[in-house]
Amino acid sequence: MSEVGTVQPGGHVPAAPSPLAPRLRWVLFGILCLAGISNALDRQIISLLKTEMSADLGWNDADYGRLAAYFQFAAAAAFLVTGWLVDKLGVKWGNVIGVAAWSIAAAAHGWATAAWHFVACRIGLGATEAMGTPLTIKTVAAIFPANERSLAIGLQTLIAAVGLVSMPFLIPWMAGLVGWRGAFIVAGASGIVIIALWLLATRGVRFDDGAELPRIDFADDGQPYGAILAERRTWAIAIAKLLSDATWWLFLYWLPDFYRREFGLSGSSLAAAMAIAYFGSGGGAFLWGWLSTRLLERGWSVDKVRKRVMLISALIVTPVPLVLNVDSFVVVAFMMAIVLAGHQGFSLSLFSVITDVVPRGKVGRVTAFGAFAGNLGGAAIAWIAGIVLTAGYGYLPLFLFAASSYLLAFACISLLIPRIERVEGAGGKSPLPLH
């Protein structure tokens, strides 16, 4: 299937697009990965520099939890429209506007002084960064032929994990040079570089954003959005996302604070502990994706592969409260890496279930609604964590929830989708990006 074409010398546009040259395809993919790292960088600054920012601004844990919740609420609401917006803008200008929007929102934190300034910045960042997932899906679908999309998505997840591994070292180093305000401004400025690279690389490239490509579009089958809410599988996925993503966001926002609080880590030791955790997350995504593909190739049923991987992943997360009884932060760091690998196995399988059981015309809306529910879960746990920690209850109640959340999500999937089977015209075999 022809997907991408170029403008011929003299401005003539061919009637049918020609395939994108492999070298340019991977250049564009590399810039897309940089945009993904920029997206994650913006949201990691506040968690990794929480201590410095709290000391400067007089925050307590409840204040920090509320800011995290505002971010997640904004992202949740935005997911209901960002897919439609990305489809309207197209691949080329969607990436430009998306990166520009979240970069401006990130840089604005550097000039925030009053409490409402930070609230506005977090809401703006959450809403704009919600463009990242549909942009990734649509761009990969536009620049890669169908049989290469799984590889591209897996590689993009792995590269994103490498970016996460570097952040515990990069962000404190930036803050040491320019302060926490400067770190936000530098993060925002990096988006300008990414946009320049993207515009340079896409000069003369015409993207075919036609209906034959997998789309994130809330009207892609001509039915009203509410039609998906009458389907059991939609609610199975949404509830499972709410439960499992709540734990993911708990770790993403509060894991650095946990290491500081329990082990007194800072500087390079904190960076190393966080890097180990993120490496486990990325490695887990790649491993579970590879294993699922291999089992399907060997003749295992879709139902067996998806549910076995989800159950094993859920059981891997279950022992997380035990880290509170371990004295060595090195051991805890590796335990948390395994826990995050378990999350990725569950998340990958859950997104794959969408492509298995949802007709292509509804994949965009079901995915977006699942992301909406997942971000609501993230907002709730961020807010609750701040309250629990401020009250002096520590991390035990939060980790007990984390231990049970994936088993509850698995039970929901098993109850509402008793047998996972690929339906005719399903969304495709390529796994979607995590989160």
The residues spanned by each domain of the chain are: 21-150+171-217, 223-427
29 φψ region: left (φ > 0), alpha (ψ -120 to 50), beta (else):
alpha
Both structure tokens of 223: 């039915």
Count of positions (residues) in the chain: 435
Q: How many C-beta atoms lie closer than 10 Å to residue 114's C-beta?
A: 9
Q: How sure is the predictor about 59, in pLDDT bands with cuts at 50, 70 and 90?
A: confident
Question: 93-114: per-residue pLDDT in tens?
Answer: 889 999 999 999 999 999 988 8
Q: To the nearest whole percent, how much of the chain has pLDDT over 90? A: 36
Q: Which residue has the higher pLDDT, 245 or 432?
A: 245
Both structure tokens of 378: 């993230």
Question: 176-233: per-residue pLDDT in tens?
Answer: 999 999 999 999 999 999 999 999 998 877 775 443 333 333 344 445 556 677 788 8
Residues in Cβ contact with 207 at an 8 Å cutoff, skipping those fewer than 6 apart: 3, 4, 90, 91, 92, 142, 143
Q: How sure is the predictor about 288, in pLDDT bands with cuts at 50, 70 and 90?
A: confident
Q: Which residue has the higher pLDDT, 322 or 4?
A: 322
HEC profile of 370-391: HHHHHHHHHHHHHHHHHHHHHC
The dotted CATH code for 223-427 is 1.20.1250.20
Q: How sure is the predictor about 7, in pLDDT bands with cuts at 50, 70 and 90?
A: very low
> CATH fold of 21-150+171-217, please?
Growth Hormone; Chain: A; (1.20.1250)
Q: Which residue has the higher pLDDT, 13 or 35?
A: 35
Quote the pLDDT of residue 85.
81
Quote the pLDDT of residue 192.
92
Q: How sure is the predictor about 43, in pLDDT bands with cuts at 50, 70 and 90?
A: confident
Q: Which residue has the higher pLDDT, 255 or 22?
A: 255
Mean pLDDT, the chain, integer: 81
Q: How many C-beta atoms lie closer than 10 Å to residue 392's C-beta?
A: 7
